[in-house]
Structure 1
Amino acid sequence: MSVSSGPAASGKRELRRELLAARAELTPDELRESAVALAGRALELPELAHARTVAAYVSVGSEPGTPALLDALRARGVRVLLPALLPDNDLDWGVYDGEGSLVSVRHGARMALLEPSGERLGPDAVTGADAVLLPGLAVDARGMRLGRGGGSYDRVLARLERAGAGAALVVLLYDGEVVGRVPAEGHDRPVHAVVTPSGVRRYGTVSS
């Protein structure tokens, strides 16, 4: 996927730098407390309470923590799918079978990612999810999400749209990352909900 250019892309890069700098200042205690609060809030969502399959991700670094949420979903009997990064930045998927089912994988010079070690189900496996937890850096008042710029989840969202999937799209963020406006490009799609340690914000409804 080519690198975007233009005012919106430039605005995204600047906002990413600001938000990543703020995340870098979070203490280990703040990260742990936020992860516990996020899991509690997310588990109250009807979209997750009734889900049979949830596509999620393993947080890395200072991202809002997901491990407790993954384990809680699995304990409920939910089938949890986790991504594996492909060479072209697209995502394959595998089933999460607990912490022992993860393997650390380094892709070039990037930070190592924890990926499922079991069978690969293919990029289209995400279209069978009832809810998709998306990583992000910010979401605005329209529900537009700012990602890290790699394009992996833009492909996921496009795949869901092509398939006519009705998955709930949920982003996990810190409280200060719900912003007034995110610069948007033509390929960007709004999400349905944002979960932060202090609560939930909704944007529109999930298609049936």
Structure 2
Amino acid sequence: MDEQERINAEKQDRRGRLLEARRRIDPAQCLDAGRRLADLLAGQVLAKLGHSRGDQSLTVAAFSSIRGEIAMDPSLDLLVGRGYQVLIPMLGTGIQVGWGRLQSEQDLEDMKRIPGWRPDEPDMPALPPQALNQADLILVPALAIDHAGIRLGRGGGWYDRALALRAEQTSVVGICWPGEFVEDPLPHLDHDLPVDAVLTPEGFTPTAAGQSRRPGADHNGDEQD
């Protein structure tokens, strides 16, 4: 087994354990966590970003949550309710990289409910992968994130391909459960893109990758209740 195979095997082992733990999370717990997450998104993330942009409307790339994830409905309601442009992944018939743009509460209500483990998608033609370049903030799901910013996803490589097209200055914030924000380094390969910060229902924390990318920014952002 070479080094890449060893790392991939370690990733898969961690994914299995994390997904098993998520299967035991009650949907009511996911929704409660989602409400707290939306409060922190508004108070600690969007407040800073909106201030830096003045009154100009923001474009935020977010995602639809699936079983076991922190519910994203409260955050999507918040973003759309503020009049922001909200980009949501559209996987098509496979795992193509595309985006839907939510611009109204009606767009939210019209989301296609997809059973199983695929996220709900906007009911509209998909925008091309390059649409992510318009985003001022990108929120991504994670099974785990370490303090360096290394993110463990589900293994399909969708976000690795998608994030390659983001604007260089755009912050990427990973979202996970508090216990999935870990001290120990996660296994990773060279093509794995780190996130700039972590948002959990308990707080917002810049990662080492985010701090190094923006050395002039204020990074006094240890997790706060």
Normalising by structure 2, what TM-score? Answer: 0.81
CA distance in 2: counterparts of 1:24 and 1:159, whole angstroms: 32
1:6-42 deviation digits (Å, cap 9, x = unpaired)? 1111111011111111111112332121111111112
Matched, 1:8 2:1: no
Query: For residues 1-208 of structure 1, what are the structure 2 equivalents within 5 Å?
Result: 5-47=4-46, 49-50=49-50, 52-87=58-93, 89-96=95-102, 97-98=104-105, 99-105=108-114, 111-160=117-166, 164-179=167-182, 180-203=184-207, 204-205=210-211
Q: How many residues align?
A: 199
Find the residue that maps to 1:45 and give its secondary structure: helix
Task: Point out which structure has higher relative CO (alpha carbons under 8 A, 6+ apart).
Answer: 1
Bigger Cα Rg:
2
> Equivalent residue of 1:54, what SS?
strand
Give 5+ residue unaligned stretches, structure 2: 51-56, 218-225
Aligned-partner residue type, residue 202 of structure 1: P
Letter in 1 for 2:8: A
Asked if 1 retains the 8 angstrom alpha-carbon contact of 2:59 and 2:86, the reply is yes
> Does the aligned pair in 2 maintain the 1:104–1:112 contact within 8 Å?
no
Contact in 2 for aligned 1:16/1:148 (Cα 8 Å)? yes
Q: 1:169 aligns to what SS in structure 2? A: strand
Are the equivalent residues in 1 in contact too, given 2:4–2:189 (CA < 8 A)?
A: no
Amino acid at match of 2:139: L
Give unpaired runs (5+ residues) of structure 1. Answer: none
| C-alpha RMSD of the superposition | 2.2
State the Cα deviation string for residues 101-124 of structure 1 (Å, max 9, x = none).
311347xxx634310112322111
